[in-house]
Structure 1
Amino acid sequence: MIELLARLFIRGRDALAPSALRRAYGQLCGAVGIGLNLLLFAVKFFAGSVSGSIAITADAFNNLSDAGSSLVTLLGFRLAGRKPDPEHPFGHGRMEYISGLVVSGLILLMGVELGKSSLGKILHPEEVASSPLVLVILAVSIGVKLYMFSYNRAVGKKIHSTAMDATAMDSLSDAVSTAAVLVATLVGQFTGLMIDGWVGLLVALFILYSAYKAAKETLSPLLGQTPDPEFVRHIQEIVLSYPEVQNVHDLIVHDYGPGRVIISLHAEVSASGNLLQLHDVIDNIEHRLQKELGCVAVIHMDPIVTDDPETQRLRLAVAEKVKTIDPRLTIHDFRMVPGPSHTNLIFDTVVPYGVKLDRAQVQKRIAELVRQLGEQYFAVVQIDNSYVL
């Protein structure tokens, strides 16, 4: 159905830019979600009023909140698609993450309210009336919600949207909650057991868990999560495919929303190379990264000595010494500055998260290890953190 609606309402979608197509799909799904949830609210509210079931009525208002969530998603995609401006030079892409977080908050609120209502029903149970019409309404509602879960998840994967993923989880939680309400209604009808409140409480707990999971997935990119290792590997493969580049370090990926990624990195090049030619190579790498990965790339050239055997020997020796502290430690930007009384070995050391020693302890230990190579050697170490896995 979504693809049919896409063909009808997203005109010229084959010619649209990826960002525009993404926004169009998000807005379409939001509009469909509003319509279906309002319809479900109306029929469930009617069923809850007829049967006197607190679980069905709560489920109806859950769908009403879902309509609000769909509205938030729709607005989020519209705002995220706004062009950069002087106040927001990186665009408004993170509005999509914020909309996903708002949806998670609405799910959380509904879970709390449903839990409170269910506790009241447990303390003061009432008989729930039922009818074939009520059962049919609940069964159809489950089918609709499973369909909404399916298309939201499919579109979320298609356009890589955490907001759509959160909406899909919301739809799945609704399907489960309505199924539980249906079971409670059937049990009450055929056994006389009044488990309406208990089922409502279980549904509330499930909704709260779904809210937590959705919030976690949308909050991480807002806080600044580590980039996808596959994305990092692809960046490194492209940069290192150029023979002029010896190594890559200090890679940072800045995520300003879907399709708005900026990366910065340092590329080690030979200090004896032609500066203009090397600059041209770096420009070509930046253009290729933007073309193939859709990201803006800023690359800093780090000149390193590659034609001095003594520098190479010491660099390898220091790298081996550093790894005795922790195998994950690496060095880069290695330079040797000899003097009349001593020689400074200047380099950066990358200390990944999880290393037990702090920065000062690592520096002290490296200085001790470097002195083992010779009393004339002194380590001048800059400690760096790793921003990728």
Structure 2
Amino acid sequence: MQDKQYSKLVTVAGWAAAGTATFLIISKLFAWFWTDSTSVLASLTDSLMDVAASLINLYAIKVALTPADEDHKFGHGKAESLAGLAQAAFISGSACLLILGGVQRIIKGNEVQAAGVGIWVMVLSIVATLALVAFQTYVVKRTGSVAIKADSLHYKSDLFMNAAVVLALVLAAQGIHSADGIFAVGVGFYIFYGAWQIGKESVDSLMDKTLSAEEEAKIIEIVFQQPGITGVHDLRTRQSGSTKFMQLHLELDDNLSLFQAHELGDKVEGKLAAAFINSDIIIHLDPVSVVKSSSRISKPASA
């Protein structure tokens, strides 16, 4: 994918998330005012956190799309991972508030008013969130953006949370008022789990975790598709923002000329660049007779 397409998709997705969260806040504020439901308040609190997280995402995306400069020669892609960490912190904070509010409601007890209004508003929230998640899923598939993926994970958890709130309101309307507080606590713990997932993925990116095993296997497969490659060693991969970085050593016949070896290296680099759009590739060429690396990958017999 070209940088312009990437920029357009992730920016639109960022604004879509912020706009949806703002709409949900207004709707849930109305529902909370009419119902005095703790579970609706829990959902409202989460939407407030959504807006904050989405605004952070928009700024992070803007920074991540900034071209490499003298001080950041590898680009600014890790701004997306920093945004993911900030989201995890916001989500954890909202989860604490939800759990405390739910426990208080269980202890004190309080009758939910106008549960029907709350149910309709929460159903509307589910529909709006489903539309947003569908669009975010499309953007993640096209771009691989860490920030949008983290945001999408959060909104997916919102779907379960909103469904739980609807069930709590239905039960409250039937006279089971403790359900309101119980579901608020349950939602709080579920959100904690989502925050942990987002935080873990962000830390993995910041710590330069390797690409997936499937992606590394694809790299090796592409390399050995090129005739003349005897082996590969010291493969290193990572991802920053939308850019996939890969470094590898190609093992070549000792008798090749410098020009021939360089030509083989260029062919492999071209194939990898075509398979991994928006990638940064460094290839080192080694005579096969001098290779002593413990991470050597020999050419398969069938290749």
**TM-score, normalized by length of structure 1?**
0.70
1:237-248 aligned within 5 A: 237-248=221-232
Q: After superposition, what is the alpha-carbon deviation per residue over 1:269-289, rounded to whole angstroms, capped at 9, x for unaligned? A: 222332332233323433443
Cα 1:54–1:131 change in 2 (3 A) is closer
Query: Which residue is 2:294 aligned to?
Result: 349
Amino acid at match of 1:174: D
Shift of 1:152: 1.7
- AA aligned to 2:153 is M
Aligned: 1:289 with 2:272: yes
Deviation at 1:130, TM superposition (A): 1.8
Q: Deviation of residue 230 (structure 1)?
A: 3.2
Query: What residue in structure 1 maps to residue 205 of structure 2?
Result: 221
| CA positional deviation for 1:170 | 1.4
Q: What do residues 69-126 of structure 1 show as CA deviations (whole Å, max 9, x unaligned)?
A: 2212222211111011111001111112222222222212111111111111122111
> Could you say what secondary structure the match of 1:262 adopts?
strand
- Report Cα offsets for 1:311-355 as digits up to 9, x if no partner: xxxxxxxxxxxxxxxxxxxxx82xxxxxxxxxxxxx333499xxx
Matches of residues 222-371 of structure 1 in structure 2 within 5 Å?
222-258=206-242, 260-294=243-277, 295-305=279-289, 333=291, 347-350=292-295
Mind listing any 5+ residue stretches in structure 2 that lack a counterpart?
298-303
Large movers: runs of 4+ above 6 Å? none
Cα distance 1:272–1:155, how it changes in 2: closer, same or farther (>3 A)? closer
Q: Which of the pair has the greater relative contact order for Cα pairs under 8 Å at 6+ separation?
A: 2
Q: Residue in 2 aligned with 1:54?
A: 38
Distance 1:176 1:34, change over 3 A: same
**Residues 273 and 78 (structure 1 numbering): CA distance in 2 closer, same or farther, change over 3 Å?**
same
Q: Residues of 1 paired with 2:180 and 2:154: CA distance?
A: 22
Gaps spanning 5+ residues in structure 1: where?
Answer: 1-16, 306-331, 334-346, 353-389
Change (3 A) 1:348 1:178: closer
Higher radius of gyration, 1 or 2: 1
Alpha-carbon shift at residue 149 of structure 1 (Å): 2.1
Aligned residue number for residue 157 of structure 2: 173
Query: In 1, are the aligned partners of 2:245 and 2:280 still within 8 Å (CA)?
Result: yes
Q: Structure 1 residue 68 and structure 2 residue 52: aligned?
A: yes
- Counterpart CA distance in 1 for 2:158 and 2:275 is 39
**What's the secondary structure of 2:280's corresponding residue?**
strand
Please name the residue that 1:164 is paired with: 148
1:28 aligns with 2:12: yes
Higher strand share: 1
State whether residues 100 and 163 of structure 1, in contact with CA within 8 Å, keep that contact through their aligned partners in structure 2.
yes
Match of 2:300 in 1: none
Asked whether the equivalents of residues 27 and 73 of structure 1 are also in contact (C-alpha less than 8 Å), the reply is: no
Q: Do the aligned partners of 1:26 and 1:73 also contact (CA within 8 Å) in 2?
A: no
Residue 348 of structure 1 aligns with an amino acid whose one-letter code is: S
**In the alignment, residue 150 of structure 1 is paired with which amino acid?**
A
1:130, 1:185 within 8 Å by CA — same for their partners in 2?
Answer: no
The amino acid that maps onto 2:164 is A
- Work out the CA distance in 2 between the residues paired with 1:173 and 1:296: 34
The DSSP-based 3-state class of the residue aligned with 1:244 is coil
The residue correspondences of 1:6-45 to structure 2 (distance < 5 A) are 18-45=2-29
Task: Give the deviation of 1:186 after TM superposition.
Answer: 1.9
In 1, distance between residues paired with 2:196 and 2:236? 28
- In structure 2, relative to structure 1, the CA distance for the partners of 1:177 and 1:278 (3 Å cut) is closer
One-letter amino acid of the structure 1 residue matched with residue 36 of structure 2: G
Distance 1:26 1:106 in 2: 21
* Other structure's SS at 1:146 match: helix
Q: What is the aligned partner in structure 2 of residue 100 from structure 1?
A: 84
- The equivalent of 2:95 in structure 1 is 111
Separation in structure 1 between the aligned mates of residue 177 and residue 223 of structure 2, nearest angstrom: 67
Letter in 2 for 1:256: S
Look up the SS of the partner of 1:349 in the other structure.
coil
Q: In the TM superposition, what whole-angstrom CA distance separates every residue of 1:348-374 from its partner, at most 9, and x where no partner exists?
A: 33499xxxxxxxxxxxxxxxxxxxxxx
Q: Which has the higher helix share?
A: 2
The count of corresponding residues between Structure 1 and Structure 2 is: 296
Q: Residues of 1 paired with 2:288 and 2:262: CA distance?
A: 15
TM-score (norm 2): 0.89
Indicate the percent of aligned positions where both proteins have the same amino acid: 26
* Distance in 1 (alpha carbons) for counterparts of 2:153 and 2:274: 33
Cα distance 1:351–1:105, how it changes in 2: closer, same or farther (>3 A)?
Answer: farther
Q: Which amino acid aligns with 1:272?
A: N
